[in-house]
Homo-oligomer: A and B are copies of this chain.
């Protein structure tokens, strides 16, 4: 149970504020981050999309390569595609389990990666989002070393965001900020509820 009398509440909030201020004071420098959203839960692409809207609101240049078409939905694609300082590229013919053609998937991944590489190496983008790249790496459609090399040698101000289940260990090791979206409960599985407008797409 939490203590709820006014004095202990004030002491607790005072300690928290001091801790928060100390942490902020120690955080002094800016750098382009490698951000990874992974895990079997929801919100990996949606949280990246939320960051995208925020970047665009600040007028910063954004690049998005969507490696698998199903992950971001029409509403998001239309929105990002309509903003002048956003370059938005969609690769992929839907989820990989629909294509059943490994050579085709590899060629598609390579085309997407060429775009991503160009964006990252140009240094012109404040943020480059590589949506569902983890999935592409898991299936070994692209060489992990090449991807890590390009990310590692980017200009220091460029943020790179990678989403998708099964982030490779080597990517997590290099990353600055890693969040695992963990599925606790899902209505599809447990209640037979279908995908709904606004929630899922």
Contact = CB atoms under 8 A, between A and B. Distances in A.
Interface stretch (A50-58, A107-115, A143-151): A50-58
B179 A193 contact: no
Given A140-B4, A179-B181, A191-B176, A197 B60 contact: yes
Contacts of A20: 95, 97
Contacts of A31: 187, 191, 193
Contacts of A37: 43
A13 B99 contact: yes
Interface residues of A, number: 85
Copies of this protein chain in the complex: 2
A183 to B, nearest CB: 7
A172 interface: yes
Instruction: Please provide the 7 A-B residue pairs with the shortest distance between their CB atoms, ordered closest to farther.
Output: A16-B97, A43-B47, A178-B184, A46-B50, A55-B198, A57-B75, A50-B50
Interface of A: 2, 4, 6, 9-10, 12-14, 16-17, 20, 23-24, 26-31, 33, 35-37, 39, 41-44, 46-47, 49-51, 53-55, 57-58, 60, 73, 75-76, 78-79, 95-103, 126-127, 138-140, 159, 172, 175-189, 191-199, 201
6 contacts: A16-B97, A17-B100, A33-B187, A33-B199, A46-B51, A180-B181
